[in-house]
Structure 1
Amino acid sequence: MPVLKLLILLILLMLVYQDFKYRMVYAVLFPVLCILFVWHRWLDQESFSVIFSQCAAALLFLGAQLALLTLYFSFRFRRWTPVSGKLLAWGDILLLAAIGCYLSFLNYVLFYLLSAVATLLCWMIAQAWRKKPAAGVPLAGFQALFFAMAFIYSWVHPSFSLQDERWMYQLTGQ
């Protein structure tokens, strides 16, 4: 299991490096990451039906978000404006889909929201220090970095599981 976790971390760090350095990532890393995530969950004694249902819920949530954003920008710009491509890169979408194969649904929604806010804050701080502002936010890079940090934390602290919500109940004292 440690080898699998290190392999997952290696791929996440490759995504961070590629997105920050080149503003693009290798698409082949995402299916590999999905397979490793599902394999990790299966080795943690989760049934495929639980894994599949949580993956499906995360993908439906992501699809709904993308559809709502597409509708919003289409109305705003008064022409059909799909989110994928220019407004949100495919690497960003594929990383969010891959992460959905590992996290429980509630953890996925929480990660989706918190990582988006944290990415925006980090990017605004970084832009304030730059003399020449960069175009585009390396969303996949930041989110891969944040997920790698959460993944490492869950490895070091087994009571903090990304695959269920028990840590939230412990945090709130329930």
Structure 2
Amino acid sequence: MWYLKLILILVFAIVLYQDFKSRLVYWFLYPVIGILAFAIQLYTVPLNIAIYNLGVNLLLVSFILGVGFLYLKLRNLNIKNSIGIGDILFFVFISCTFSTVSFIVLFVFALLFSLLLHFVLSIKKEEETVPLAGYMALFFGAVYAMTFLCNGTFLYVY
């Protein structure tokens, strides 16, 4: 179990590095994140609960993305310049991680963390794009790293 978490943290680190460095992440890393996170969840909860968590989390992510796209459409903004396909893939595959309540809390805090980190790192330079998937990978990698120090089963409580 610990080795899956370690591999997942390494994949998160690769996503962070690639997204921060060039805003291009290998697409196959996102399904690897989803598969590893789902396998870790399966270690803690039964299959039917894990599938239920995945379904509800995917519905929440779909709702968030739908509201975002609707907002962009109503404001006549270009969708391609607003969110990247890598960010959408990250949102979809990160849905495999935790129970619904934990996922909502961690997802919101990951977005807030990304916003604050981007403001801090871009004070002197103006960047047009945000490495959102990379920042969120850093956050979720830290969450998984903390599960090495304490019992992380509370993240999967249903």
Q: Same fold (TM over 0.5)?
A: yes
Q: Which residue matches 1:171?
A: none
1-structure distance, mates of 2:130, 2:53: 28
Give secondary structure in 2 for the equivalent of 1:88.
coil
Counterpart AA for 1:27: W
Structure 2: 5+ residue runs without aligned partners? none
Contact kept, 8 Å, 2:41 with 2:98, in 1: the verdict is: no
Q: Which residue matches 1:142?
A: 135
How many Å apart are 1:122 and its aligned residue?
1.3
| Aligned pair partner of 1:158 in 141, 145, 151 | 151
Contact kept, 8 Å, 2:19 with 2:25, in 1: the verdict is: yes
Q: Which residue matches 2:58?
A: 59
Counterpart AA for 2:51: F
Which runs of structure 1 show a deviation greater than 6 angstroms over 4 or more consecutive aligned residues?
none
Map of 1:10-89 to 2, 5 A cutoff?
Answer: 10-44=10-44, 46-77=45-76, 83=79, 85-89=80-84
Normalising by the residue count of structure 1, what TM-score does the alignment of the two structures yield? Answer: 0.84
Q: Which residue matches 1:2?
A: 2
Counterpart AA for 2:148: W
2-structure distance, mates of 1:86, 1:110: 27
Give secondary structure in 1 for the equivalent of 2:155.
coil
Give secondary structure in 2 for the equivalent of 1:155.
coil
2-structure distance, mates of 1:92, 1:163: 24
**CA RMSD in angstroms, aligned pairs only:** 1.7
Contact kept, 8 Å, 1:153 with 1:160, in 2: the verdict is: no
Contact kept, 8 Å, 1:100 with 1:108, in 2: the verdict is: yes
Counterpart AA for 2:102: N
2:109 matches 1:110: no
Aligned in 2, Cα 1:101/1:114: closer, same or farther, shift over 3 Å?
Answer: same
2-structure distance, mates of 1:149, 1:162: 14
Aligned in 2, Cα 1:121/1:47: closer, same or farther, shift over 3 Å?
Answer: same
Q: Which residue matches 1:120?
A: 115
Tell me the matched-pair count. 158
Give secondary structure in 2 for the equivalent of 1:69.
helix
Which entry has the higher C-alpha Rg, 1 or 2? 1
2-structure distance, mates of 1:159, 1:146: 15
Structure 1: 5+ residue runs without aligned partners? 166-174
Aligned in 2, Cα 1:11/1:135: closer, same or farther, shift over 3 Å?
Answer: same
2-structure distance, mates of 1:14, 1:159: 23
